[in-house]
């Protein structure tokens, strides 16, 4: 730095106010983010390494051309280094003006912001201290609505009743902007099609007191001699097989009307033999009808619902003022059909490498899909998906290549969204009838065939989704490998989970995704519940209460309840860094004629979306360690209770190539609810914390646009079981933990 230059090392914001500590802390945080000069970022142990590298690379560039620099130096210049933030009095004064403006917008109209500096000439640094003197917040006393427009005057009480400008609310830019948008939206939904925001005005009167104000909301007329016009819905003309390349104004058209849908006209070319889709799925997608007040919300909803009909590639909804009826808007809907049938394919890769257990597994899944978008001419979508996957063992000592073979065949028939007023509780849902077959073979463990049939109703909203499955049927037919049979003989509880079983039950799933808040915080939540066997149990009690019946004398039915909770939280600090966390809890309770849950319904821990320092199903249950843990065997451990916590710090590694990196930590385990053999697998509230597995590590992510490739290296920090080979105590840092990470290659983020 040159003489007289000072490096900004810290900004301090002080609030001089009588407000509560929570309000003061919030103001300090918000004001600190609008300061023009932010100190250089710290990277390692509080050191501004980005700035130091700037000087290093800049010094080398003084000796040679940019084109002659090494690739590493170029990467540092473009993605890592930061020039020093040198004190600028002009920017400091701009910051005080911005902070004052920000406080005024919050309702602190008498705020005064000053700035002082604390220089350190020996170190050539400076600390800037901003002091905001904040007086009492200006709030609303009363709100009055006024207009001289006769058409608006009649609905003024309704507008006033819904106002956001309540007594005691702060007078700030945000609330007035929200109120203007509210009035505009309400009037647009009441038929005032050509009403705009610039007809709304606000005035404030503080003559009675400095701390409160009377607010006057004025809705102006378009001109001195005209009034706002209210419009009704007229006729709706629907071109059901519109092709912009072939359609001509003089094209001969057939018209179809449907009883109960007055004002709707379905049109097609006379050259086309029949309508592509039956009328009801199209007509039920409209959120308005003839005679309704024109509504922007209903218009947008109709466009969205028509576009959701998959047989149509493009839908255009065009409102046009009627030439025949005043204050009426007709609609012209153009629906361009898509191909009836389509084919698709994709693939998935994942890999887990663990040198301690001598396992190097690489998984490949291929997925083909066939789709018919109008199977029964009711816009039903029928799809078939054959899926094949294999998990390869790349360094097996016994010559075998395949760890797991996974073959699936799935079909799904989905209706259009239900809008039947006779069954209000089903309105806005989509019905799915799904069948599937799944064959899985795990080397030296088991093979099973899983047949499934289910019907569910799916409600999708802006930020949430709800799926109710009134009935599903799973038929599980396992075959045990002779090498795995001795393990089952020693573990009756595990053996019972591999019985041939019929699962008949119901389940419920709820998902919520929050929008990103102004502070960059978002979260999503998934809750599921499942009950099986109750209906069959009632039949059993009615027909033969003395004995539990079996199908074909070999297949018993399962009874259990299963619940799972999953919540993710993401905090975005800026465009390049974020912190993501997850909590996952699951509980399964067998009852009635079942002593344990079916194996396919139990919980497991470990793997690419779980505790990444362990393989899939390698953790738990509890503190038990299987004798073959260090042998070349595919893990199979599961439990009835799962607790898992995950967190990772994500940051941009290279902006040009969309490469991110992350440091992560995972913790958790699975447990049994009972352990008759006494093998330390049972959940105990007093001891379960000592059985938590902890892994940590780092990873890289590459965004290819349509998918994200991920590489994670997970290190075992704490084992759930005690071992003499652990380097710290009985549980921490297994021998060679830092040399033998668990390599995970997968597509997508872990959570």
CB 737 within 8 A of CB 713: no
In the predicted model, is pLDDT for residue 624 greater than 80?
A: yes
Q: Return the pLDDT at 380.
A: 94
Reported confidence tier of residue 356, pLDDT bands at 50, 70, 90: very low
Which range has highest mean pLDDT (133-137, 373-377, 514-518)? 373-377
615: left (phi over 0), alpha (psi -120 to 50) or beta: beta
Check if the beta carbon of residue 633 is closer than 8 Å to that of residue 617: no
Distance CA 91, CA 629 (A): 63
3-state DSSP helix/strand/coil % of the chain, to nearest 5? 20, 40, 40
With bands split at pLDDT 50, 70 and 90, how would you rate the model's confidence at 359? very low
pLDDT of residue 160: 93
Closest CA to 151 of 346, 361, 327, 375: 327
**Mean pLDDT calculated for residue range 69-87:** 66
Please report the pLDDT score of residue 734 as a whole number. Answer: 78
E strand segments, 322-445? 328-337, 341-354, 359-372, 381-393, 402-414, 429-442
Over residues 39-47, mean pLDDT:
59
Give whichever of 356-360, 725-729, 741-745 has the largest mean pLDDT. 741-745
**How many helices (DSSP H) and strands (DSSP E) are in the chain?**
12, 28
Q: What is the pLDDT of residue 226?
A: 86
Taking residues 642-651, what's their average pLDDT?
96
Q: Which of 35-44, 389-398, 559-568 has the highest mean pLDDT?
A: 559-568
Of 318 and 46, the structure prediction assigns the larger pLDDT to 318
Helix (H, G, I), strand (E, B) or coil at 288: coil
pTM check: above 0.85: no
pLDDT, tens digit, 9 for 90 and up, residues 154-174: 999 999 999 999 998 988 888
- Measuring CA to CA, which residue among 106, 195, 194, 208 is closest to residue 159? 195
* Contact by Cβ (8 Å): 611, 582: no
What does the alpha-carbon distance between residue 447 and residue 340 come to, in Å, rounded to a whole number?
Answer: 38
pLDDT at site 29: 85
Share of the chain above pLDDT 70, in %: 86
Compute the average pLDDT of residues 257-276: 91
CA angle 139, 140, 143 (to 5 degrees): 170
Handedness of CA 301, 307, 311, 315 (dihedral sign): positive
Q: What pLDDT, on the 0 to 100 scale, is given for residue 41?
A: 67
Burial class for 732, CB neighbours closer than 10 Å (0-12, 13-18, 19+): middle
Confidence (pLDDT) at 536: 86
What gap in Å lies between CA 585 and CA 338, rounded to an integer?
43
What is the distance between the alpha carbons of residues 683 and 588, in angstroms, rounded to a whole number? 13
pLDDT at 93 over 80: yes
- What is the per-residue pLDDT for 70? 59
pLDDT for the residue numbered 322: 93
640 token code pair: 């009835």
Closest of 585, 590, 537 to residue 563, by C-alpha: 585
Burial 459-474 (b: 16+ CB within 10 A, else e): beeeeeebbbbeebeb
| Domain assignments of the chain as residue spans, ordered by start | 7-133, 139-219, 232-337, 603-751
pLDDT of amino acid 353: 45
Alpha helices for 470-615 (secondary structure H): 485-490, 492-496, 534-543
Architecture of domain 7-133: Roll (3.10)
CA distance 186 to 177: 14
**What are the tokens at 293?**
């007040």
Does position 498 have pLDDT exceeding 60, yes or no?
Answer: yes
Distance CA 337, CA 432 (A): 23
Mean pLDDT within 312-327: 93
Domains 7-133 and 139-219 fall in the same CATH topology: yes
Distances (CA, A) of 96 to 117, 153, 412: 13, 44, 61
Mean pLDDT of 501-529: 93
For residue 297, what are the contacts with CB-CB under 8 A and spacing of at least 6? 185, 188, 189, 287
Q: Is the pLDDT of residue 47 over 80?
A: no
pLDDT at 272 over 90: no
Inform me whether the pLDDT recorded for 196 exceeds 50.
yes
Please answer whether residues 105 and 123 qualify as being in contact, where contact means their C-beta atoms are separated by less than 8 angstroms: no
Instruction: Report CA-CA distances (Å) from 719 to 76, 203, 683, 689.
Output: 39, 67, 16, 12
pLDDT at 6 over 80: yes
Mean pLDDT in residue range 400-412: 84
Q: Is the pLDDT of residue 709 over 70?
A: yes
Averaged pLDDT, 702-710: 84
User: In this predicted structure, which of 193-207, 240-254, 442-456 has the lowest mean pLDDT?
Assistant: 240-254
What is the distance of C-alpha 330 from the center of its chain? Answer: 39
Q: How far is CA 733 from CA 624, 665, 730, in A?
A: 18, 14, 9
Phi and psi, residue 26, nearest 5°:
-65, -40
- On the question of pLDDT at 466 being above 90, the answer is yes
Phi, psi of 654 (to 5 degrees): -150, 115
Strand pairing report for 312-321 and 253-256 = unpaired
Tokens of 461: 């909203």
Listed range (419-433, 562-576, 656-670) with the worst mean pLDDT: 419-433
Tell whether the torsion through CA atoms of 314, 319, 320 and 324 is positive or negative.
positive
Q: Is the per-residue pLDDT at 748 higher than 80?
A: yes
**End-to-end Cα distance, the chain:** 45
Question: Measured at the alpha carbon of residue 114, what is the angle toward residues 109 and 115, in degrees to the nearest 5?
Answer: 150
**What is the strand order of the sheet 125-133 is part of?**
7-16, 125-133, 112-120
Confidence bin at 397 (pLDDT 50/70/90) = low
Rounded Cα–Cα distance for residues 749 and 425 (Å):
36
In whole angstroms, how far apart are CA 535 and each of 454, 499, 504, 532, 599?
15, 20, 8, 8, 21
The pLDDT of 424-429, averaged and rounded, is 73
The position carrying tokens 């060679």 is: 736
pLDDT band with cut points at 50, 70 and 90 for residue 703: confident
pLDDT at 354: 42
14-23, 74-83, 400-409, range with the lowest pLDDT: 74-83
Q: For the CA atoms of the chain, what is the radius of gyration?
A: 33
pLDDT band at 238 (very low <50, low <70, confident <90, very high): very high
The domain defined by 603-751 folds into: Porin (2.40.160)
Whether 350 has a pLDDT exceeding 70, the answer reads no
**232-337 CATH:** 3.10.20.310
Averaged pLDDT of the chain: 85
Q: Are 605 and 635 in contact (CB under 8 A)?
A: no
Q: Which fold has domain 139-219?
A: Ubiquitin-like (UB roll) (3.10.20)
The H or E element spanning position 54 is helix 49-61
> Residue 283: enclosing H or E segment and its boundaries?
helix 279-283
Of 244-253, 450-459, 722-731, where does mean pLDDT reach its minimum?
Answer: 722-731
**H/E stretch holding 514:** none
Most confident of 320-329, 496-505, 614-623, 726-735: 320-329
pLDDT confidence of residue 134:
87
* Confidence band for 393, pLDDT divided at 50, 70 and 90: low
Higher pLDDT, 417 or 435: 435
Q: Which of 432-446, 480-494, 510-524, 684-698 has the lowest mean pLDDT?
A: 480-494
DSSP string covering 79-95: HT-----B--HHHHHHH
Q: Give 367-383 pLDDT, tens digit per residue.
A: 899 999 999 999 999 99
CA 697, CA 352: separation in Å to the nearest integer? 14
Asked if 303 contacts 296 with a C-beta cutoff of 8 angstroms, the reply is no
């Amino acid at each position: 730095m040159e003489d007289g230059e000072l490096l900004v090392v810290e900004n301090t914001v002080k609030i001089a106010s009588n407000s509560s500590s929570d309000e003061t802390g919030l103001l300090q945080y918000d004001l600190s983010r609008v300061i023009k000069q932010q100190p250089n970022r710290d990277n390692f142990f509080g050191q501004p390494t980005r700035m130091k590298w700037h000087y290093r690379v800049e010094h080398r560039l003084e000796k040679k051309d940019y084109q002659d620099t090494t690739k590493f130096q170029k990467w540092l210049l473009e993605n890592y280094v930061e020039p020093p933030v040198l004190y600028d009095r002009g920017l400091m004064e701009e910051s005080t003006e911005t902070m004052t403006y920000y406080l005024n917008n919050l309702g602190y109209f008498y705020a005064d912001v000053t700035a002082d500096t604390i220089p350190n000439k020996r170190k050539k640094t400076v600390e800037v201290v901003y002091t905001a003197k904040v007086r009492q917040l200006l709030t609303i006393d009363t709100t009055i609505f006024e207009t001289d427009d006769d058409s608006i005057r009649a609905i003024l009480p309704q507008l006033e009743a819904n106002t956001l400008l309540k007594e005691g609310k702060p007078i700030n830019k945000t609330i007035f902007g929200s109120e203007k948008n509210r009035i505009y939206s309400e009037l647009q939904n009441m038929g005032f099609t050509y009403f705009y925001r610039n007809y709304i005005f606000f005035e404030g009167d503080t003559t009675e007191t400095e701390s409160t104000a009377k607010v006057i909301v004025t809705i102006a007329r378009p001109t001195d001699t005209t009034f706002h016009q209210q419009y009704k819905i007229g006729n709706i003309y629907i071109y059901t097989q519109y092709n912009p390349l072939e359609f001509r104004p003089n094209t001969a058209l057939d018209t179809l009307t449907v009883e109960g849908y007055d004002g709707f006209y379905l049109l097609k070319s006379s050259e086309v033999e029949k309508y592509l889709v039956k009328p009801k799925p199209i007509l039920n997608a409209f959120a308005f009808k003839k005679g309704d007040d024109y509504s922007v919300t209903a218009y947008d909803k109709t466009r969205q619902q028509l576009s959701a009909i998959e047989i149509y590639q493009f839908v255009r909804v065009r409102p046009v003022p009627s030439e025949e009826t005043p204050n009426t808007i007709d609609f012209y809907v153009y629906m361009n059909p898509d191909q009836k049938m389509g084919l698709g394919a994709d693939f998935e890769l994942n890999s887990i490498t663990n040198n301690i257990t001598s396992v190097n597994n690489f998984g490949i899944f291929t997925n083909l899909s066939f789709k018919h978008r109008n199977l029964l001419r009711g816009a039903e979508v029928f799809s078939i998906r054959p899926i094949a996957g294999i998990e390869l063992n790349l360094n097996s000592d016994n010559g075998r290549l395949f760890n797991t073979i996974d073959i699936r065949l799935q079909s799904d028939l989905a209706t259009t969204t239900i809008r039947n007023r006779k069954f209000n509780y089903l309105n806005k849902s989509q019905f799915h009838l799904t069948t599937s077959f799944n064959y899985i073979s795990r080397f030296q463990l088991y093979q099973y065939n899983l047949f499934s049939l289910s019907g569910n109703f799916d409600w999708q909203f802006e930020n949430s989704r709800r799926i109710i499955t009134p009935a599903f049927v799973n038929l599980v037919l396992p075959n045990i490998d002779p090498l795995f049979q001795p393990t089952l003989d020693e573990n009756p509880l595990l053996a019972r989970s591999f019985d041939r079983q019929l699962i008949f039950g119901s389940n419920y799933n709820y998902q919520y995704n929050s929008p990103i808040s102004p502070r960059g915080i978002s979260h999503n939540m998934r809750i599921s519940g499942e009950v099986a066997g109750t209906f069959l149990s009632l039949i059993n009690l009615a027909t033969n209460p003395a004995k539990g019946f079996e199908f074909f004398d070999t297949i018993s039915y399962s009874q259990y309840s299963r619940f799972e909770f999953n919540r993710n939280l993401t905090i975005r600090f800026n465009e390049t860094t974020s912190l993501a966390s997850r909590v996952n809890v699951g509980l399964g309770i067998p009852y009635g004629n079942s002593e344990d849950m079916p194996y396919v319904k139990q919980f497991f821990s470990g793997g690419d979306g779980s505790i990444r320092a362990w393989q899939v199903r390698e953790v738990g249950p509890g503190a038990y360690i299987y004798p073959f843990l260090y042998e070349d065997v595919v893990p199979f451990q599961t439990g009835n209770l799962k607790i898992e916590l995950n967190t990772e710090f994500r940051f941009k590694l290279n902006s040009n190539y969309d490469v991110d990196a992350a440091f992560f930590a995972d913790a958790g385990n699975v447990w049994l609810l009972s352990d008759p053999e006494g093998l330390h697998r049972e959940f105990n509230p007093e001891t379960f914390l000592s059985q938590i597995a902890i892994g940590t590590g780092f990873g890289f992510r590459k965004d290819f646009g349509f998918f994200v490739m991920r590489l994670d290296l997970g290190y075992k920090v704490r084992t759930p079981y005690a071992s003499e080979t652990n380097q710290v105590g009985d549980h921490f840092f297994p021998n060679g933990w830092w040399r033998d990470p668990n390599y995970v290659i997968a597509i997508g983020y872990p959570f």
